[in-house]
Amino acid sequence: EAAVTQSPRNKVTVTGGNVTLSCRQTNSHNYMYWYRQDTGHGLRLIHYSYGAGNLQIGDVPDGYKATRTTQEDFFLLLELASPSQTSLYFCASRGLGANTGQLYFGEGSKLTVL
């Protein structure tokens, strides 16, 4: 069973604060993703990566940076957090092959920006 672990699971910060969300996958998957989930909007793609050192821009990238340091680790950075970034964030990974497109999600990181 694919495993994707996110930390922290809950985070509260203030406007202008600096936040890093971490994601580690232990499945040797090539692709990793960061989504945010909001009521009425579903899951929206922020950034994704197909390998260490690679970064692809998603659909809602403004205010977010991301870095893929190894095949296992993908970080989402909010350098000047704003209340509009209060959300539930999901990391996911995907391998190549017959099940192309099947994402394995973590359990989510709830971020509150006051």
Partner 1 sequence: GDSVTQTEGQVALSEEDFLTIHCNYSASGYPALFWYVQYPGEGPQFLFRASRDKEKGSSRGFEATYNKETTSFHLQKASVQESDSAVYYCALGEASSSFSKLVFGQGTSLSVVP
**Interface positions with partner 1 (CB under 8 A):** 4, 31, 33, 35, 40-45, 48, 50, 56, 58-59, 90, 92, 94, 99-108
Pairing mode, strands 109-113 and 10-13: parallel
Nearer to partner 1, 16 or 51 (CB): 51
Query: Using the 8-state DSSP alphabet, how is residue 40 labeled?
Result: T
List phi, psi (to 5°) of 84.
-70, -10
Report the nearest approach of partner 1 to the CB of residue 42 (Å): 4
Nearer to partner 1, 33 or 74 (CB): 33
Report the nearest approach of partner 1 to the CB of residue 18 (Å): 25
Letter for the amino acid at 21?
A: L
68 in Cβ contact with 55 (< 8 Å)? yes
